[in-house]
Structure 1
Amino acid sequence: MNTMTDMAALAAVPGGDTAAPTFRDALLAQGLLIDTGENGLYGRSEVFEDVVERLNVAITHLGADQAPEVLRFPPAMRRTDFEDSEYLKSFPNLAGTIHSFCGNDMGHQRLLRCLDDAIAERDDDRSDEWMAQQKPTRVVLTPAACYPIYPVMARRGPLPADGRTIDVLSYCFRHEPSLDPARMQMFRQREYVRLGTPDQVMAFREMWIERGSLLVTLLDLPVDVDLANDPFFGRGGKIIADSQRAQALKFELLIPVANADSKTACLSFNYHMDHFGAIWKIECADGSVAHTGCVGFGMERITLALFRHHGLDVDAWPAGVRALLWGDTHARVAEGLAQQTRGAAR
């Protein structure tokens, strides 16, 4: 994902004048996003949510011929599954755990005393001593929409001969507070996930690079697909990232969002090889370890890209974009897919 954060990602203007109005300022002034006082944590307006929902409909039509199994999970997962996923090996700085009070009356009194002291201070100066009375629960915040899928698939036994395709949507959490409106701490991912043989998964990813690019073209947004890597943590992270790039395991579709001089990953196309299959012992029909891959749609990021490139008034968006989102979405997507197929056959 794009790693530019804070004002550097927003106001890349000569001399570093961060006082210039930003895209975030415009979104807040228009009421499309609602400031909560915490960077990267926003409310969304009815108009913003309407665009997200209409994008979801278009994505559903785009993948309907794959006959995916639709699964929806809450934005939390079992802590043991999260531990098994090895997410903390690569992204400990992004993870979000859920804690709760598990003490007795005496502990509750200590908590309340600490809380009274904290409330007496200004927001930025508040003590967090009351949190000493909190303990980890058995759930954590979901870091990626596909993560709850793998243990579920493992419990079902071997995959069918043609593998499985899953359609999943979830709010996700990543601890990277920023003023860049495209870098939210709580955001939605829509994913199609493929489980099967290496050939099945690679064919799936190539298909979705084409289909993801088609969707963005239909939305009249710039298409730029490039090799990428995840933001692995620590000194060893560069070695892992270099290996990921060398094996071409990750591609991203990049669109300028925060400003015209930087690009943000709005879709990602990932091949996990047998990483998740080996962790959860997911087997193909022939007994081999299953490979997995996914296409991820950043729902808020695509929506923000639309507002960035087409303006903050949805009624003034290009006619083709409005026809796709507020018209006969099925027909528009079907025609786009048909043209794509005809072009590939030439």
Structure 2
Amino acid sequence: MNTMTDAAALAAAQPDEAAAPTFRDELLAKGILIDTGENGLYGRSQVFEDVIDRLNVAITHLGADQQPEVLRFPPAMRRTDFEDSEYLKSFPDLAGTIHSFCGNDAGQQRLLRCLDDAMAKSDDDRDDEWMSQQKPTRVVLTPAACYPIYPVMARRGPLPAGGRTIDVLSYCFRHEPSLDPARMQMFRQREYVRLGNAEQVMAFRQMWIERGSLLVTLLNLPVDVDLANDPFFGRGGKIIADSQRAQALKFELLIPVANAQSKTACLSFNYHMDHFGAIWKIGCEDGSVAHTGCVGFGMERITLALFRHHGLDVNAWPDDVRAVLWGDTKARVAHGLAGANA
């Protein structure tokens, strides 16, 4: 994962250019990203969204031969499913819950008085006393696009002999505010998720390491796939992270985005073993516990990498990159796959 999380880290990476505009500054000045006043929370311009849309088309063609089932979920999931996922055991600092007012008329009056007091102060000095009237709802913000899939698959019963492949896309939330534009609090993940036996899932992951690298190569971006681990929380997190690396469960495709000295994880290739299968009792046809794996495309991060390496004017991007995104995308992807399989 990209380790830059604040302005100090960004400045440290460019000590001789502290006064120079950062990549984030350039994106905001050009109107490609829209500043909301909250670090890691941005509006997107039409140009940015157009690139996202074109990338999605390319990714669809890249996985079309797998005949995935296409599922789309809102960026929220049932709280009980979230609790079952064990996400809070590993990443409590990243989770986002959804609260709402559940009081009576008297409670609303207390809320409004507290809100009036808060609004009398400047933004940075406001207190959050009015939020004492809020209570947790039955939904939470989705931390990863694949999370809503597993309980749905479990309710269907045993997997077919060939397992299942799911194509999913969702906005996700992680509470890690940052000035690094590639580390957003709200962002999109496009994933292909595989459910089946260990051999099927491992073959799937290897295939997508190759295909993800192919896509990035077609986009004229640098390819660097490396062993990785998730940012597990707490004192025990290092032990879990070391175990994850020792078992080679996670690989990331890294591309410089915020600056040339640091690399950002833009694609992730994950093997969960039977973790989710055991939690939700997802079974294979032979009665064994299903294994799962996924490839995750960080849609904003890949888009930012394109702007970083090819410039802020999409019309001036290299012809071969524009041909992939705005030309005959299907043919370009098919030609790349044929060359990789030759």
TM range (shorter): over 0.9
- SS for the counterpart of 2:191 is strand
Q: Does the 8 Å contact 2:267/2:295 carry over to 1?
A: yes
- The answer on whether the counterparts of 1:229 and 1:245 sit within 8 Å (CA) in structure 2 is yes
Distance (whole Å) between structure 1 residues aligned to residue 98 and residue 196 of structure 2: 33
Match of 2:25 in 1: 25
1:272-287 correspondence runs (5 A): 272-287=272-287
Correspondence list, 1:237-276, <5 A: 237-276=237-276
CA shift in 2, pair 1:279/1:316, >3 Å = same
Equivalent position amino acid for 2:305 in 1? A
Equivalent residue, structure 2, for 1:35:
35
Q: Secondary structure at the match of 1:11?
A: helix
Structure 2 partner of 1:206: 206
Higher deviation after alignment, 153-162 or 3-12 = 3-12
Query: How far is the alpha carbon of 1:2 from its aligned partner?
Result: 1.6
Q: Is the 8 A contact 1:11 1:259 kept in 2?
A: no
Residue 182 (structure 1) aligned with residue 168 (structure 2): no
- For residues 101-154 of structure 1, the C-alpha deviation after alignment (integer angstroms, 9 at most, x for no partner) is 000011000000000000000100101000000000000000000000000000
Q: Any conservation in 1 of the 2:274–2:290 contact (CA below 8 Å)?
A: yes
Q: 1:226 to 1:125 in 2, by over 3 A?
A: same
Measure, in 2, the Cα distance between the counterparts of 1:16 and 1:114.
46
Q: TM-score, normalization: structure 2?
A: 0.99
Counterparts of 2:187 and 2:14, CA distance in 1: 31
- 1:272-322 CA-partner distances (Å, limit 9, x unpaired): 000000000000000000000000000000000000000000000000000
- SS for the counterpart of 1:118 is helix
Q: Structure 1 CA distance, aligned partners of 2:234 and 2:161?
A: 40
1:11-70 C-alpha deviation (Å, 9 max, x unpaired)? 345547643210000000000000000000000000000000000000000000000000
Aligned to 2:292, what secondary structure does the other structure show?
Answer: strand
Q: Which residue of 2 is the match for residue 327 of structure 1?
A: 327
**Amino acid in the other structure paired with 1:140:** V
Structure 1 unaligned runs (5+)? none
CA contact (8 A) 2:193 2:293 kept: yes
| SS in structure 2 of the partner of residue 161 of structure 1 | coil
Distance 1:149 1:280 in 2: 11
The aligned amino acid for 2:102 is C
Give the CA RMSD over aligned residues.
0.9
Cα deviation, residue 3, structure 1 = 2.2
Which residue of 2 is the match for residue 72 of structure 1? Answer: 72
Q: How does 1:1-346 map to 2 (within 5 A)?
A: 1-13=1-13, 15=15, 18-342=18-342
Cα 1:39–1:66 shift into 2, 3 Å: same
State the one-letter code of the partner of 2:117.
D
For 2:14 and 2:97, the matched residues in 1 are separated by: 40
- Report percent identity of matched pairs: 88
Q: Is the contact between residue 7 and residue 18 of structure 1 (CA under 8 Å) also seen in structure 2?
A: no
SS in 1 for 2:124: helix
1:12 touches 1:259 (CA, 8 Å); kept in 2?
A: no
SS of residue paired to 1:115: helix
- SS of equivalent residue, structure 2 residue 157: coil
Q: CA deviation at 1:8?
A: 3.8
Question: Given the two structures, how large is their TM-score scaled by the length of structure 1?
Answer: 0.98
Which amino acid counterpart does residue 233 of structure 1 have in structure 2? Answer: F
Q: Find the aligned partners of 2:268 and 2:240 in 1 and give their Cα distance.
A: 18
Kept in 2, the 8 Å contact 1:225–1:252? The answer is yes
The aligned amino acid for 1:336 is G
Task: Give 1:231 shift.
Answer: 0.2
